[in-house]
Amino acid sequence: VAGERRYRAAIIAGLETVPVIVKKYNTEEMTEVALVENLQREGLDPIEEALAYQGLMDTYKQTQEMISARLGRSRS
């Protein structure tokens, strides 16, 4: 779910092995992890960020409070 940039950097650096942590996530958790990764990596514009949050609310019936608590982001 996360780590594509690290993986690509390892290939460029010629590393034969890359340490990873494998975790089991359900679909909802994978969506959240991917969103956090994208927010930290490239700073989505406000519209893209809002659409991602709306997707969590619509698909997984999350409230703004739930999203804010789980992602460590301000509700505003």
Question: So which residues are the catalytic ones?
Answer: 4
56 contacts 35 by C-beta, under 8 angstroms: yes
What is the spatial distance between Cα 25 and Cα 35, in angstroms, rounded to a whole number? 14
Distances (CA, A) of 35 to 32, 51, 67, 75: 5, 11, 11, 15
